[in-house]
Each structure stands twice: as structure tokens, then as C-alpha cells.
Amino acid sequence: MSAALYNLEENIVDVLQTSISASLQSNAKNEFVRGIRAALPVMLGFIPFALVLGAQAIQNGLNTIEVPLMTGLNFGGGSEFTAMQLWTSPPHVFLIVAMSFLVNSRHILMGAALAPYLRHLPKRHAIPALFFMCDESWAIALSDAKKQLSGVVSLPYYLGVSASLYLTWVLFTLAGALLGPSIGNIEPYGFDMAFTAVFLVLLRGMWKGSKVCRPWFVSLAVASLTYLLIPGAWYVAAGAVSGLITAALSGEQN
Amino acid sequence: MIDKLTILTIVSMASTTYITRVLGYLVLRNRMLSPRMMSVLENVPGCVLISVIAPAFVSNNLANLLALLITLLAAIRLSILPTVVIGILATGLLRHLIN
């Protein structure tokens, strides 16, 4: 009798476990698909830039293996465009690495801001996932985390966003490399506004009134002035840091 | 033919980029953050995003500035996809008409 009960109990536990893991799996799949959907408008913005970058790289003497190697290993548009501007034959390794660091130094702040939303993940998952952190995947995942009940980044959602953006970037930079100079100048068509548009909508979602968001205006002013006055990619770092100093100082006042 | 120095540049550049991506996380992962530190971090997204797009606000091209204004108005009301489409169309059209 007790053996039969025990068996029954085991069966129930089994069934429950299977159904829980199945629902977790289907939930992960839904989250991944939701991530792909969120990435769609950004992919639209990536394509023209990727084509132009690939074409520029070919003109700089890189070949059709080296181009996807660069965009696939580095996966950071800003630093890749900078590298192409500085590219000589042979390339000046130190200069390019130093400028990549400068252009990407904002990632350090971005990773720090994301850290509290990744507490639920083991390090062995977070570290590889962060390879895909770009402005867009980071901003989308972070603003989604703030809306969710869980209050943390949904990993499959983030991976859905990341996979879409990563594949788009690598494949279309390769396409740009293959098409080469025939792409010509796409500047007149206005695709460059895509990123500004995405960022403005994300900023709108974070807006909490002009008083709370005062650091943003400091960032905007300092970044604009730096952009106008100092050549190179210093404006992002200068703008971000000055806004954060403003935030730290006004936090002290309150 | 793959050029050795090109590969060295690409790999060094990519490693540097990856370090910037994990550094902030690794430093703050297990820290208890003070309220002031939290409020500074809360401002990171806004300050970074607005700094990245700051050059658009000081463009010396009238078409670009008008298109930015239209995109900004769209961004206040609409979701990402329609804002992107309106932004691209407005920029393309205005550059065509004005420049």
C-alpha cells in the first residue's frame, strides 16, 4: 500500500517536473522571439551602416574574410568606423586599439549600470552574454527589465535582441565587402537618422521630468561642445561623465 | 591571403572592446551600492544615449536639423518602428528638397 502511494507520489512529482520544465522552455522560446521583434526596427538601421562599413573596409585593403572577422569579433560599429578612418597599410596597431578603447569606454559605464539587473545570472552566463552588449541591445534590455515584474534582464529576451543584431551586422558588413564600391554614397537617403530615432524613443521611455533628468542636458551640452571643438571620439565620454558628475552632485544636495 | 598585421589589429581591437563590455559588470557584480551610487547609475542610460546622438543636435545642415525636430516630435508620441520610418523619410526628403 505504502509502496503504491510512494509510486504515485513519484509519478506526480515526475509529471510536475516535466510540465514545469516544458513551460520554462516555451517561456524561454517566447522571450527569445519577443527579443527578435524588439530588435526589428534597429536591424533596419543597422543594414545601411553595415553595407557602408564593409565597402569602406574593402577600399582600405581588407579582404572578404577579414571584414566579417573584424565585425564578428569586435561587434561595435563606432569603433569599427573609427578603425577604418585610421586604417593605413600596414595598420597602426596601437593607435587603432587606443581609439577603440576610447570609443567603447562608455561600455564600462553601461556594464556597471546593467550589473544590478544581472544579479540573478551566474557569472558563467553573464560574461559570455555581455560579448553582445552594444548601445542598442543594452538600452532595449535595460528598459525592458525596468518594465518587468521581475525587475531583472530576461536572458532569452536579451539573447533574441542580440542574435538578431549580431547576425544583421556581420552578414551585412560581409555583403558590403562583397558589393564593394558599387554601394556608393547612401548619405542622401537619411538612414543615419534611424539610430537617432531609436535612441530618442528609448530616452522618452526613461524620461522622468526635466528636473530629474537635468544630467541629460548637461551631457547633451558638453557632448555637443566637445564634438564641435575637439576632433576624435572624445565627445561620448566627455558628455556621459559630465552628466554623471552632475547626478552625483545633485544627489548630494538632496 | 590574410595579412598577419591586420589579424593582430583586429584581435587586439576586439579584445579591448570585450574588456570594456565586462569591466563594469565585474567591478559592480557583488557590491552593495550606496543610494548615491545607485542614483548615479540610474542616470547612465540617459547620459550615454544622449551623448552618442549629440552630434545630430549641432549639425550645420538645416535639412538635418529640421529632420531631427520631426523625429523628436515623432519619438514623443510613437513607438520605435514608426519613429524610425518617419525619421528616415523626413531626413531623406528634406535633404533632397533643401540641399
pLDDT in tens, B15-54: 999 999 999 999 988 887 788 888 888 888 899 889 989 9
Chain B residue numbers with beta carbons less than 8 Å from the beta carbon of A158 are: none
On whether the CB atoms of residues A96 and B34 are closer than 8 A, the answer is no
- Residues 17..76 of B with a Cβ closer than 8 Å to A: which? 17-18, 20-29, 33, 35-36, 38-58, 67-68, 71-72, 74-76
- Distance CA(A242)–CA(A131), nearest Å, equals 27
Q: Give the model's pLDDT for residue A82.
A: 83
Average pLDDT for chain A: 88
Does B95 contact A63 at a Cβ distance shorter than 8 Å? no
Q: What is the pLDDT of residues A18-32, one digit of tens each?
A: 656 666 677 999 999
A61 contact partners, CB below 8 Å, separation of at least 6: A87, A89
| Spatial CB neighbours of A115, under 8 Å, sequence gap ≥ 6 | B24, B25, B27, B28, B29
- What is the rounded average pLDDT of the residues B48-64? 93
**What is the number of residues in chain A?**
254
Q: Which pLDDT band holds residue B80 (cuts at 50, 70, 90)?
A: confident
Give the separation between CA A112 and CA A93, rounded to whole angstroms: 28
pLDDT at residue number A253 = 56
* Per-residue pLDDT band at A234 (split at 50, 70, 90): confident
Picking from A202, A74, A57, A231, the residue whose alpha carbon sits closest to that of residue A137 is A202
d(CA A225, CA A230): 8
Q: Is B58 exposed, middle or buried (CB count within 10 Å of its CB: 0-12, 13-18, 19+)?
A: middle
Kindly indicate the confidence band of residue A3, based on its pLDDT and cuts at 50, 70 and 90: low
pLDDT at position A159? 97
CA atoms within 13 A of residue A83's CA, in its CB half-sphere:
35
Distance, C-alpha B13 to centroid of its chain: 20
Quickly count: other Cβ atoms within 10 Å of residue A40's Cβ: 14
Residue of chain B whose alpha carbon sits nearest to that of A99 = B13
**pLDDT for residue A98:** 87
Instruction: Report CB contact under 8 Å: A197, B1.
Output: no
pLDDT of residue A134: 94
pLDDT on residue A87: 87
* CA pair distance A64, A72, nearest whole angstrom: 12
Nearest-CA neighbor of A117 among A150, A72, A163? A150
CB contact under 8 A, A220 and B87: no
**CA–CA min distance A136, chain B (Å):** 9
Task: Give me the pLDDT at residue A16, please.
Answer: 61
**A143 close to A206: Cβ distance less than 8 angstroms:** yes
Percentages (nearest 5) of helix, strand, coil residues in chain B: 85, 0, 15
Reported confidence tier of residue B14, pLDDT bands at 50, 70, 90:
very high
Predicted confidence band at A99 (pLDDT cuts at 50, 70, 90)? confident
pLDDT at B76: 95
pLDDT digit string (tens) for A147-205?
988 999 999 999 999 999 999 999 999 999 999 777 777 777 888 888 889 889 989 98
Identify the three-state secondary structure at position A190: coil
Give CA torsion, residues A180, A41, B68, A79, to 10 deg: -50
Based on the number of CB atoms within 10 Å of its own CB, is B46 exposed (0-12), middle (13-18) or buried (19 or more)? buried
User: Rounded to two decimals, what is the model's pTM?
Assistant: 0.80
The stretches of chain A forming alpha helices (DSSP H) are 2-59, 66-74, 77-86, 93-104, 106-114, 123-129, 135-147, 155-179, 193-206, 214-229, 234-253
pLDDT of residue A232: 75
State residue A13's pLDDT score: 63
- Output the CA torsion sign for B29, B30, B36, B42: positive
CA distance A59 to chain B (A): 14
Whether residues B46 and A243 touch (CB distance < 8 A) is answered with yes
Q: Residue A134, SS3?
A: coil
Q: Is the pLDDT of residue A92 over 60?
A: yes
